[in-house]
Homo-oligomer: A and B are copies of this chain.
């Protein structure tokens, strides 16, 4: 009843750290083995080559956010609540698993050239799911007729960059660093997202 080889987790954790820090091309297999505390040959035997290491890290990371979104949807009644909860869940998971946003941003930066096919499939599913929520809100007359894709990228783009820069922002602008905790991040974004920047009456 222990189907999970314990060292695989250690290896994948180490790989995630290295890939997040240096990107796929900058990452060193030697370094991953060192971080994991295993021999390089063992690493090859247990998981595989660099590409396979990366594939496993990406799929494991994607599952985290996929589950977070599923849970947010299940725990929500209205479309508005769903959006708010998705934001909260993503923000929470982003800071808890900060390596994953880093890897995702690098994939975006690199035109998804190192993203495994299964990762692309998961991305499509994720975008379809969240688009459906926006469409539903529009049809229910609760949401304005916004572009769902723009909304998706505003949410993920903002959460991931805010989460990744929290340390940096404290260093650069200690007296005014902006939102730091996942809660602060989720609240400040959903405020702007739901209500907009303009005061009521000034809308265009």
Contacts and interface: CB of A to CB of B under 8 A. Distances in A.
A24 to B, nearest CB: 7
Contacts of A195: 144, 196, 198, 203-204
Interface string A19-43: 0111111110000000000000000
Q: Which of under 10, 10 to 19, 20 to 34, or 35 or more describes the interface residues of A?
A: 35 or more
A192 B154 contact: yes
A197 to B, nearest CB: 5
A188 B194 CA distance: 15
Interface string A161-204: 11011011100110011110000010011011111111110111
A83 B23 CA distance: 33
A24 B21 CA distance: 11
Contacts of A179: 147, 149-150
A154 B165 CA distance: 13
Contacts of A198: 80, 142-144, 194-196
A93 B151 CA distance: 21
A31 B14 CA distance: 29
Contacts of A110: 21-23, 102
A146 interface: yes
B146 A199 contact: no
A157 to B, nearest CB: 3
Interface in A125-144: 127, 131, 137, 141-144
A178 B203 contact: no
B105 A167 contact: no
Interface of A: 20-27, 80, 83, 101-103, 105-106, 108-113, 120, 123-124, 127, 131, 137, 141-144, 146-154, 156-158, 160-162, 164-165, 167-169, 172-173, 176-179, 185, 188-189, 191-200, 202-204
9 contacts: A123-B172, A131-B176, A143-B199, A148-B178, A149-B188, A150-B185, A156-B161, A195-B196, A195-B198
